[in-house]
Structure 1
Amino acid sequence: MAAGVKKATAGRGKQGKPNTEARSLKRKREQEDLEKLQKTVDELDPKSDLKNFTDLPLCEATASGLRASHFEVLTDVQRAAIPLALKGNDVLGAAKTGSGKTLAFLVPVLEKLYRARWTEYDGLGALIISPTRELAVQIFEVLRKIGRHHAFSAGLVIGGKNLKEEAERLGRMNILVCTPGRMLQHLDQTAGFDVDNLQMLVLDEADRIMDMGFQSAVDALVEHLPKTRQTLLFSATQSKRVSDLARLSLKDPEYVSVHEKADAATPSNLQQHYIVTPLVEKLDTLWSFLRTNLKAKIIVFLSSGKQVRFVFESFKRMQPGIPLLHLHGRQKQVARMEITSRFTSAKYACLFATDVVARGVDFPAVDWVIQADCPEDADTYIHRVGRTARYESKGRAVLFLDPNEEGFLKRLEQKNVPIQKVNVREKKKKSITNELQSLCFKSADLKYLGQKAFISYTRSVFLQKDKEVFQFDKLDLDAFAASLGLPGTPQVKFQKGQDIKRLKNASRAAMSSGSEDESDGEGPKPKKDEVRTKYQKMAERQNQDVLSSHYRKLVVGEEDDEDDDGDFLSVKRVLDDDALDSAAGGAGEGAAEPKVVTLGKQELIIDSHRREKLLRSKKKLAKYMDKGSRLVFDDDGVGHAIYELQGEDDFHQEGPAEQLRREFVEAESNKVREADVEDKEAAKKRRKEKRERQRAREREELLGLEVGGTGGPQVAVAGGAAGEMDEDPLALLRSLPIPGEDGDEEEEEERNEPPRKRVKKWFEDGEDTDEEKKKKKKGKRGKKVIEMDHEPDNLEDLEALAAGLLED
């Protein structure tokens, strides 16, 4: 234990504090190493013969990272550019694709910051700009490999990710790999992002970044950067224009072009061929090529993302027998990263892509590069074919050319690109037009993609600058649309400037099919001083893009002028003098005044057929009529307004407001009392009528039991004839008064007479037999039993039954 304690405290002083001498010695050694390294760099001869990375004056962290990543031998561009960059010079580097330009600028970046003893508190030290996201990701991955032993912090800033999350980390980054647009967005929007201490600016694929597509973004970005910095530019095809160099504030740049005197601008181990195939047979040739190269890794370049989607979706449904992938700029960043990773790790696959992967992206072991669409220039061709034959590996490239595009071969010859012509074997060529037509017929989505692909391709050809190669007028658009499986040729609106104005201002006759002019002929032209209606101006509107083509086809061919109801969107003209005369009700020259119709308080002048037709429509006439008012009718049928407001003066003349209020309340109270008296009288009357009906029923039952009892003799009424017995024998008895019938309920209560003997109901007998008495006694002991001669069928029977059940 003691030994352990002694060993643990050996590096401390008397009071246990860290030994400052050891730390000072360490800093001193690091300083001596840096001075020695700087001296070696100053003494380095850029023209010396260097073969390996170990021959370069590099720090241990960079050298160990290169060894761990298996980078040992220097390439030509690295041998020429790295020594110049280490000495602090601005470099313009041009080398063939796949020659190792990435390490040519990453190694100087790490060495520059290391010799400056850069820390996280110093801010951004190096900025590396790439034209595409895929290339930026690839550069960042290489930087992570060779810089694994350095203490620098590095970040990747590209589009498609959260801007706020990137902004939070920017302040701690020493090296940033980015795309121009995203970096400019951070410089403009991210508060506290400081680039004043920037030591090095690197532009990879500089010719593309300096192109028109990124020119404005790069100019705005350079304005934020300090003038005192080192700048490195690398590309497969480099530009020496003075304007570009001045924009980037380069100071006496060193031009490095290791392959300038080479026999070809492309790698020597790359076999390049071209096939002359008409535009209508391009997909047939591409399909046949894929079917014959199933065990290969292929990249197919197309001119637009919409073409990539259509070819990918249609070929995927036809199943050529090789895995298919597609990549274009419209995809989200996560999908692009995943597809790039899948194609990198795949052994056999076909990738349909746009030019987003044409520059700098390193896909291993690519066998074929197919350019189905002619590139815009020779530089783009060189970058596309550079995806294969990377660093001493072999590769093959094929270019599809339309017979009208063979002039592109002269552009390649000027760039010193060797290419040979090959022919397609007709036996292996297969037409897929019928299959594409069937797929487009079954799938509306695929048909839509085909239409978009057609439009994007024709627009790209029309907008190309090199009119000797891209001749839009010689394209057979109908046949090309049929080759895509489309049922018809889509309309393309791509004209710019005067062309688009001329298209919009074309007359109706020019836009229609022409049958209308042949059948109807030319109508009379309107006079200059003649007043035209709104509908006439609408019919003569010049901008025909408002109406679609199928709508115009419906309008064309209105041959039946006799039947007005059959016309579609028929426009009525202003009446001439004769028509005005007839509309006014006159004939000849004497009736020139138009007809005037009074509508409420307004007068409507009928001076045209349109106004005359308006009189037949109640809905349209309602606009000219006065607005009505709603009335409430009293009992006498007199109409009153819903709200009748009294004038203020009339109100004051009637008396004080408080007195009026009391009178109103008293009058309403009297109305309520009178209504209460009437309600009480009506209720009393209803109760009296109910008692009378009940007594009449009891009287009828009593008389029926006494006169017509069961088994009893029939009693004749005195004073009646024999023939009258059949009519109503009880009529006389019913007419006899019953004591207490005419009295009121209140009078009976005042007399306090004993209640009369209850009259038995229809379900009770006059006398009970012995069995019935026994049943009653039994019912008293148990349940009560009531016998009925018929089932009750109304409310009165049910009330009587209930009264019997309630009795003891």
Structure 2
Amino acid sequence: MSIQRRKKHNRSNERRKLKREEALKELEVLEKNCQNLPLNLEYESFKELPLSLLTQQGLQQSNYIEMTKIQRKAIPLALRGRDVLGAAKTGSGKTLAFLIPVIESLYRKSWTQLDGLGALVIAPTRELAIQIFEVLRKIGRKHSLSAGLVIGGKNVDVEQERINRMNILICTPGRLLQHMDQTANFKCDNIQVLVLDEADRILDLGFEKTINAIIENLPKERQTLMFSATQTKSVKDLARLSLEDPEYVSIIEDSEHSTPISLSQHYLVCELPQKLDILFSFIKSHLQAKVLVFLSSCKQVRFVFETFCKLHPGAPLLHLHGKQKQTKRLEIFNKFSSMKHAYLFATDIAARGLDFPAVDWVVQVDAPENAETYIHRVGRTARYDASGHALLFLLTSEEQGMKAALDKKKVPIDKIKVKSSKTISIQKQLQSLCFKDPEIKYLGQKAFVSYIRSIYLQSDKSIFKVDELPIEEFAATLGLPGTPKIKFVKAQSKNATRQKPKKVPGYSSSDEDEGNSVKILEMNSNTLPNLDVQEKKRKEANPKSKLDKMFNRKNMSVLTDHYKKLVDQEADNITSEEELITLKRANHELSDELKQPVFFYAVYSIISSIN
């Protein structure tokens, strides 16, 4: 090597050395400023916080300038390494409140790909996980950290190839546990930060076993951040997560109401058979609106969507539920987000965390299971100081209990009356559809059963009273020619003159029921009624095989022709409402700055890097 080239090489080494020293000094100063960050000051903008220059640039380019209330309270605590329990109204900016500390924590530790997985962000639904990942990409675009999105409905093999190279992982509980069990060399023993978004939902009974198994694989010495619109203070839950002196941050307790001031909330009282008439009338009178409609089950969502598409109310219709394929759910999510006027029929899969732009109304046709779910549902509108409207349908039997539950949670809601003169009846149209189309009839039967089951399974019996439901009238309003039989309930026979058998403790039959009430069938081996001797002999002489029973089923020929098509949710499509949609889908092309070689990204991608 010549003398000149050697001098040039030495100079470049010196420059690299100086850069490393400057970077180390910057990190030391940043760490010191974070540890000494005053917690008694009111910070207004992100520039006032000791954040890295790369994060500041990402926030500025994403137009995040002023902090929200929850961000002002939670971020300083999280930057100091404290465990945080955050409770804030929906649409208040909770996502940034935990993503900024996650990025900063790994940056101050000079985290690299060789250090492995450093942060876990767990969300209850796939859509919410994708949304968090999108925000992470925006504010972390200048960092060299790698991030991955691991959710159900994707190819596990592709995830397994890349998951070990990730520094930050956004995931759903089930898929994360699957990788912990099945993916070789996937380790979480170096986790620095654990985040639970919508923590109250993740910690409930539905995810209890999964979360317990996940926590067992995580180190106890870590920072934990939990955020939700209705936060838990349960000692049991906090003990499970190994929290150390957590800081409870709430902007709900400080406010008069637990929902945004700009949200107008009303409820109406109607009978169960009137629900679809009122909903259809609402759509006809609000054609130029963007509305999210909540129903209690997937089958109800499908029935209402399919029938309303055929009735042509005059507005674009979409539907979203958990039985759809992941790609279909993402397509509908993006489509509804980009549309100016549309109706989205959905289950509670859309109730938490999702940020649909400019939703005008949230209509709850079926009552939420509790006040917390109500708060999450209405949180899809009136976000970030925007205005919005919420309308709740309540049955007469549900009004008193639900109103008391909402009052307890500081939810201001007013009662309104429905003008019967402006209500359009669609019962005859539904009857005609069920008569002409066996698929619609089948969907109606499944929707009927799923609704009754959902009421029966609700835990709060002061609100949900299955024995007060007019099930025969409800079946008629769905267009069904008769009331479907339900395994867990029995209704009264119309033949009132038939002789009633003797009542047996613990057993109720259709002949014993009175009026339109519903009796829950409670039967065990010790309380079976004694059969007549002759009836016993007749049954023994003419036993029925399973094959005989199958051929004697009613409507077998009709259902078998359409069953496969109906139950194949993966083939579910929305072509029937195409003629109602006039707005084109927004262009989701990536900007030029995001098309860099270091990116591996697509909207439906599983793994990507921040920069």
- Normalising by the residue count of structure 2, what TM-score does the alignment of the two structures yield? 0.82
The residue number in structure 1 matching 2:373 is 380
Separation (CA, whole Å) in 2 of partners of 1:278 and 1:259: 34
Query: What one-letter code is carried by the residue in structure 2 that aligns with 1:88?
Result: G
Aligned-partner Cα distance in 2 for 1:114–1:538: 80
| CA contact 1:312–1:352 (8 Å) conserved in 2 | yes
- Rounded to whole Å, the distance in 2 between the matches of 1:86 and 1:106 is 11
Question: What are the equivalent positions in structure 2 for 1:701-712 lying under 5 Å apart?
Answer: none
Q: How does 1:288-307 map to 2 (within 5 A)?
A: 288-307=281-300
1:466 to 438, 460, 464: 460
Q: CA deviation at 1:24?
A: 0.9
Q: 1:392 to 1:165 in 2, by over 3 A?
A: same
Residue 282 (structure 1) aligned with residue 282 (structure 2):
no
Counterpart of 1:489 (choices 478, 483, 499) is 483
The alignment partner of 2:206 has SS state of: coil
Aligned pairs for 1:395-794 within 5 A: 395-406=388-399, 407-494=401-488, 502=523, 537=540, 547=549
In structure 2, the residue corresponding to 1:171 is in which secondary structure?
helix
**Contact 1:277–1:401 at 8 Å: present in 2 too?**
yes
Deviation at 1:425?
1.6
What is the Cα deviation at residue 423 of structure 1? 1.0
Question: Residue 24 of structure 2 aligns to which amino acid in structure 1?
Answer: Q
Cα deviation digits, residues 657-704 of structure 1 (max 9, x gap): xxxxxxxxxxxxxxxxxxxxxxxxxxxxxxxxxxxxxxxxxxxxxxxx
Residues 303-314 of structure 1 correspond to what in structure 2 (within 5 A)?
Answer: 303-314=296-307
Give 1:502 deviation, angstroms: 2.3
Cα distance change of structure 1 residues 27 and 538 upon mapping to structure 2, 3 Å threshold: farther
Deviations 1:207-266 (A, max 9, x none): 000011111100001111111110000000011010000000101100001221211110
The alpha-carbon distance between structure 1 residues 268 and 538, as it changes in their structure 2 partners (threshold 3 A), is farther
- 1:437 deviation in Å? 0.5
Which residue of structure 1 aligns with residue 136 of structure 2? 143
1:752 maps to which residue?
none
Match of 2:604 in 1: none
3-state SS of the aligned residue for 2:430? helix
The alignment partner of 1:286 has SS state of helix
Does residue 284 of structure 2 align to residue 263 of structure 1?
no
Q: Does 1:350 align with 2:371?
A: no
2: CA distance, partners of 1:288 / 1:127: 46
Q: 1:180 deviation in Å?
A: 0.3
Alpha-carbon distance between aligned partners in 2 of 1:400 and 1:549, rounded to the nearest angstrom: 42
What is the CA–CA distance in structure 2 between the aligned matches of 1:540 and 1:187, rounded to whole Å? 51
What is the DSSP-based 3-state SS (H/G/I as helix, E as strand, rest coil) of the residue aligned with 2:474?
helix
RMSD: 2.6
* Residue equivalent to 1:212: 205
Residue ranges of structure 2 left out of the alignment (5+ in a row) = 491-505, 508-519, 555-611
User: Is the contact made by 1:508 and 1:544 (CA closer than 8 Å) also made in structure 2?
Assistant: no
Q: What's 1:109 paired with?
A: 102
Match of 1:83 among 72, 76, 80: 76
Q: Could you say which residue in structure 2 is the equivalent of 1:791?
A: none
CA distance change for structure 1 residues 82 and 445 in 2, over 3 Å: closer, same or farther? same
CA offset at residue 13 of structure 1?
A: 2.4
Aligned to 1:745: none
CA distance in 2, matches of 1:548, 1:486: 23
1:362 aligns with 2:334: no
Q: Are 1:326 and 2:347 matched, yes or no?
A: no
Pair 1:97 & 2:90 matched: yes
CA distance in 2 between counterparts of 1:503 and 1:442 reads: 42
Q: Which residue of 2 aligns with 1:739?
A: none
Paired AA for residue 359 in structure 1: R
Deviations 1:442-487 (A, max 9, x none): 1111111111000000001011111111111111111000000011
Measured at CA, do residues 419 and 506 of structure 1 come closer, stay the same or move farther in structure 2, by a change above 3 Å? same
Report what 1:756 is aligned to: none
Query: Aligned partner of 2:39: which letter?
Result: P
Question: Could you say what secondary structure the match of 1:255 adopts?
Answer: strand
Shift of 1:22: 1.3
Q: Which residue of 1 aligns with 2:577?
A: none
Cα distance in 2 between the residues matched to 1:208 and 1:149: 32
Query: Which structure has the larger Rg over C-alpha atoms?
Result: 1
**Are residue 242 (structure 1) and residue 245 (structure 2) matched?**
no
Does the residue aligned with 1:176 lie in a helix, a strand or coil? strand
Query: C-alpha distance in 2, partners of 1:538/1:383?
Result: 59
Indicate if the aligned counterparts of 1:130 and 1:178 stay in contact, CA closer than 8 A: yes
Distance in 2, Cα, partners of 1:212 & 1:545: 40
Give the structure 2 partner of residue 698 of structure 1: none
* Secondary structure of the corresponding residue to residue 305 of structure 2: helix
| Residue identity opposite 2:347 in structure 1 | T
C-alpha distance after superposition, 1:504-533 (max 9, x if no partner) = 9998999xxxxxxxxxxx66698xxxxx8x
What SS class does the counterpart of residue 138 from structure 2 fall into?
helix
- Alpha-carbon distance change, 29 to 455 in structure 1, aligned in 2, over 3 angstroms: same
Is it true that 1:171 corresponds to 2:146 in the alignment?
no
Q: 1:162 to 1:495 in 2, by over 3 A?
A: farther
**Distance change in 2, residues 1:418/1:525 (3 Å):** closer
Q: Which residue identity does 1:356 align to in structure 2?
A: I
Choose the corresponding residue for 2:185, options 173, 183, 192: 192
Describe the superposition over 1:26-48 as per-residue Cα deviations: whole angstroms up to 9, x where unpaired: 10000111111111112211221
Distance in 2, Cα, partners of 1:237 & 1:462: 25
Counterpart CA distance in 2 for 1:492 and 1:506 is 21
From 26, 38, 63, the counterpart of 2:31: 38
Q: Does 1:57 align with 2:50?
A: yes
Equivalent AA in structure 2 for residue 491 of structure 1: K
Contact 1:290 1:320 in 2 (8 A): yes
Distance of 1:164 and 1:551 partners within structure 2:
44
Distance 1:523 1:149, change over 3 A: closer
Alpha-carbon separation, structure 2, partners of 1:284 and 1:322: 16
SS at match of 1:150: coil
Instruction: State how far apart, in whole Å, the 1-side matches of 2:547 and 2:460 are.
Output: 30
How far is the alpha carbon of 1:62 from its aligned partner? 0.3
Instruction: Give, as a single letter, the amino acid of the residue that structure 2 aligns with 1:341.
Output: N
How many Å separate the matches in 1 of 2:418 and 2:253?
34
Q: Note closer, same or farther for the CA distance 1:253–1:523 as it changes in structure 2 (3 Å cut).
A: closer
CA contact (8 A) 1:304 1:456 kept: yes
Q: Deviations over 1:392-441 (max 9, x none)?
A: 00000000001111121111011110100111122221100000010111
Q: Structure 2 CA distance, aligned partners of 1:332 and 1:154?
A: 24
How many residue pairs align between the two structures?
526
Task: Verify the 8 A CA contact 1:129 1:202 in the aligned structure 2.
Answer: yes
Q: How far did 1:537 drift?
A: 3.3
Q: Deviations over 1:489-511 (max 9, x none)?
A: 1111136999767289998999x
Q: Per the alignment, in what secondary structure is the counterpart of residue 397 of structure 1? A: strand
Post-superposition Cα deviations, 1:106-136, rounded to whole Å, max 9, x if no partner, equal 0000000000000011100000000001100
The answer to whether residue 149 in structure 2 is matched with residue 156 in structure 1 is yes
Question: What CA distance in whole angstroms lies between the structure 2 residues aligned with 1:468 and 1:546?
Answer: 44
Give the partner amino acid of 2:405. Answer: R
Q: Which residue identity is paired with 1:212?
A: L
Alignment check: 8 A CA contact 1:13 1:19 kept: no
The answer to whether the Cα contact below 8 Å between 1:505 and 1:544 also exists between their aligned partners in 2 is no
Tell me the amino acid that sits aligned with residue 537 of structure 1: E
Q: CA deviation at 1:536?
A: 5.5
Paired residue type of 1:440: C
- Check the 8 A contact 1:433/1:484 in 2, yes or no: yes
Distance 1:37 1:13 in 2: 36
Q: 1:538 to 1:397 in 2, by over 3 A?
A: farther
